[in-house]
A and B are shown apart, each in its own frame.
Chain A
Amino acid sequence: MDFLLNNKRQLKKKDELPISDSRWAPKSKYRHKFNPANSENFVKINAIITLILFLVFICQNSFSSSSSNVVDSHTNEAKILEDNEYYDYDFKNFDEPLVKKFDDGAKHYLISKYGSEVLTPEDKSRYEQELQELLSTTVQNYDLSKYSGTENGIQNREHVLLCVPLRDAEDVLPLMFKNIMNLTYPHELIDLAFLVSDCTEGDHTLESLIAYSRHLQDGTLAGLFQEMDKDDSKKDSEKLYLKYMNKDYLKMVEDAYSPPFHNDYEKPFRSVQIFQKDFGQEVGQGFTERHSVKVQGIRRKLMGRARNWLMTNALKPYHAWVYWRDADVELCPGTVIEDLMSKNFDVMVPNVWRPLPEFLNSEQPYDLNSWMESNEALKLAKNLDEDDVIVEGYAEYPTWRVHLAYIREKNGNPNQVVDLDGVGGVSILVKAKLFRSGIHFPAFTFENHAETEAFGKMAKKMGFRVGGLPHYTLWHIYEPSDDDLLEIASKERENNRS
């Protein structure tokens, strides 16, 4: 057996010629199966594929929007913001390589750069400058009397802090941003501050707020809203109550939100600060739930707490004014900040009404928290518990106060001012020095009031002037209550029958 096998092997060997490695020697056909080194095309194709992928990789990294370190050619299309106010106070750019040189201490830098501690005058002044640059990164000096707030804020380049407390507000965010962009007060003087608190499960207020803010600061938010509105035009048909609203009012809304807008509509703001804090608030945000009298006291105190958190975190020493704004205002003049400022009061509020379906009279005063104190109310307060909160608009507390909302005349002079004691929170312009004096939105019962009304009382107590404009109206959105919805449903049934 072995003999046979060996023979076969020997025979095989004998049959084959000695193999040479020369290129021109004939090879067995199986040798071509796979020899990458010899296959030129293979290598060429691979090289080209690799090159293409490499280029794709580079492109992706340089043009991806998340990279903050973008190649300069990209920003050529964007307009560079030149106004000084974008880069003042705590947004001052500093020379990082220079600051890094001081990491081992000033003496070390002095000796290593200048050679000795005794300097020539030019060297000394240069060193002083560099030292100043270093100090400005951690030391800030402010003279608070410079940020007092005058009636001519635009001319005096006064910084305004715009505060908006938010809760479950995902649907009204586009409305809010459109109103914010509509403000004509120079955007480089406005700092935006939002507080998102206690949102329900599945609500995306925070994420959409961040998304909208990024677009706002890029200047692309208006375009984005136009796209969104085109998509949403079919949603309006779901809002049945629009059929029953006053046609003139609806026309006003439509005109207000169609272009052209003012020149700086899309200009970015000086800064956007988004705070997130949950207070464990249990009350729902639906209209009926949040307006029942029993929960008002608790709700107002919690709202006061939210406002205080927002203010304490966002207020900087260089702010001259603070403008508090609710997210759900539908119609508001773009010049509202200048208008409220021009009266030179310390606290100023406009009138706030809301539209209603025509079968309910078309309109109604909305904010009853702006009022002038009355003797009956003071007497009522004396008989109440320390923790009882008087809320306006409920039969349980007959205060007989004069409300700003009720003294409105449709064609009255929008510049007329009245003195108030309590203010509502929809739109308040306050001089920042009030907050610096300690006036805030009490989260406890202060003189039987809480939140914005107690704020007004505290301001008056400390000698500041609180005023309101009865004929300057802002329109709040209309959210149908359960009763209204039932009414509309029954009307629909009638119409369908006939």
Chain B
Amino acid sequence: MKLSLVLFRLRKSPWLAFVFPLISLFLVYLIFFKEDESILGFSGSTIRNHKWAHEIEGTFYFPYSSKFKLPKYSYKKKFNWLFNDRVEDIIPEGHIAHYDLNKLHSTSDSISDKEHVLVLTPMQTFHEKYWENLLKLSYPRELIELGFIIPRSDAGDAALKKLETAVKNVQSDKKNNRFSKITILRQESQSFDKLEEKERHSLAVQKERRAAMALARNELLFSTLGPHTSWVLWLDSDIVETPTTVIESMTKHDKPVLAANVYQRFFDNDKQQDSIRPYDFNNWAESDIGLQLASKMGDDEIIVEGYAEIATYRPLMAHFYNPSGDVGEEMALDGVGGGCTLVKAEVHRDGAMFPNFPFYHLIETEGFAKMAKRLNYEVFGLPNFLVYHIEE
């Protein structure tokens, strides 16, 4: 009895008489005219919400889709679908992902363009000061990805432990302080074992050592480079001091390959004061004498800088440092070192890698610069932009 009374009152009330037509009109609009699929506000970046060309501009029509809408297989969904929006970004629906690489740019305005930088470090020993320097960088951390490769040796095990602790601390920090992604790799190829500075730098072992380094760099590069990367910064694990704005300062020059000048701080015993001296002699411009030397060498021999036995007379960027000069001054180079070198991702994607065999009588990073030049990219250096190597 009471129910029918309530219904009667409802029917009589003037509000409902107007409300129902309005609601039905609204529903008609939603059903037939609303194009936007994201009703509840989830707009995934996966292909499930892909707009076919015919829906946008009426050009391509795939005539069979409608018959085969119900899938035969599906992937497991572990957790409640309501909270899956972040998972959706990382694991796309149906495991299909579409990347438009035409939209990936490396420009001089890297921060405002939100360009991802991949910082790669072949790590043989973990230096605290290196890590602190990395944490001080001002480039937005959500745009930085880190990659490390560690050799299979005892020294490598020690470095790995320290690195993992440091990574754990930063990645369990507040969400804004975390790096976008960190990849830690264990090298497959054999590493070079003699690590003390004096032995490391003797001429005879250079070829072997640098070939091993080249393999490590390649393994690191091709395992971590992904479709979101715009820039790759090669930063050696023994570079302990860089300007905090190093990434944005270097990307500002918008050069395919750009090397900073690596110096070393030391205590000058003669003058009894702190001083600096050049460290990396792999940044150089080619000279005629260098080319002559190369033409006389056997196919399997390489030229390395900084040794009296091979006098190439190449202008070394290390010697072009001018303390009162403009920090942004550029210098055209033919060979680069790996201390602090910024490379546009497209140079690597085109195939430029670190040859571990004599390539035009060059190897590793210098061979890489030559390869980049063969691919018609320009190589530059910043003689007045200093970064510091650890003191040994």
Contact = CB atoms under 8 A, between A and B. Distances in A.
19 contacts: A43-B16, A46-B21, A56-B27, A57-B31, A61-B39, A66-B37, A67-B48, A75-B71, A96-B87, A138-B178, A142-B184, A145-B187, A207-B52, A208-B62, A210-B50, A219-B73, A268-B73, A440-B353, A443-B351
Given A93-B91, A440-B351, A313 B218 contact: no
A95 interface: yes
A440 to B, nearest CB: 5
B214 interface: yes
A144 B188 contact: yes
Contacts of A437: 189, 215, 218-219, 356
A138 B72 contact: no
B60 interface: yes
B100 A266 contact: no
Contacts of B175: 102-104
Contact of B67 (A218, A227, A311): A227
Interface stretch (A12-20, A34-42, A176-184): A34-42
Given A64-B37, A96-B83, A266 B75 contact: no
B18 to A, nearest CB: 7
A94 B89 CA distance: 12
A377 interface: no
B351 A36 contact: no
Contact of B351 (A46, A134, A276, A442): A442
A3 interface: no
Interface in B144-171: 152, 167-168, 171
B99 A78 contact: no
Contact of A228 (B14, B64, B86, B152): B64
Given A224-B64, A438-B214, 9 more contacts: A90-B90, A91-B91, A105-B173, A106-B173, A142-B223, A218-B68, A313-B227, A437-B215, A445-B374
Residue among A79, A305, A444, A462 with max Cβ neighbours from chain B (10 Å): A444
Contacts, number: 316
A298 to B, nearest CB: 13
A417 interface: no
B98 A77 contact: no
Interface residues of A, number: 116
Contacts of A278: 102
Interface string B35-54: 00101101010111110110
Contact of B97 (A67, A148, A271): A271
Given A102-B172, A274-B97, A444-B375, A43 B181 contact: no
B72 A272 contact: no
B24 A50 contact: yes
B351 A305 contact: yes
Contacts of A270: 95
B31 A68 contact: no
A182 to B, nearest CB: 17
Contacts of A78: 70-74
A282 to B, nearest CB: 17
Interface string A304-340: 1100110111011100000000000000000000000
Contacts of B88: 68
Contacts of B21: 46
Interface residues of B, number: 106
Nearest to B76: A80
B207 to A, nearest CB: 14
Contacts of B97: 271-274
Interface in A39-58: 39-40, 42-44, 46-47, 49-50, 53-54, 56-57
B371 interface: yes
Interface string A70-93: 100011011111100011001101
B11 interface: yes
Counting from the closest, the 6 A-B pairs by CB-CB distance are A219-B72, A218-B71, A438-B218, A46-B20, A36-B17, A106-B172
A266 B74 CA distance: 12
A135 interface: yes
A126 to B, nearest CB: 15
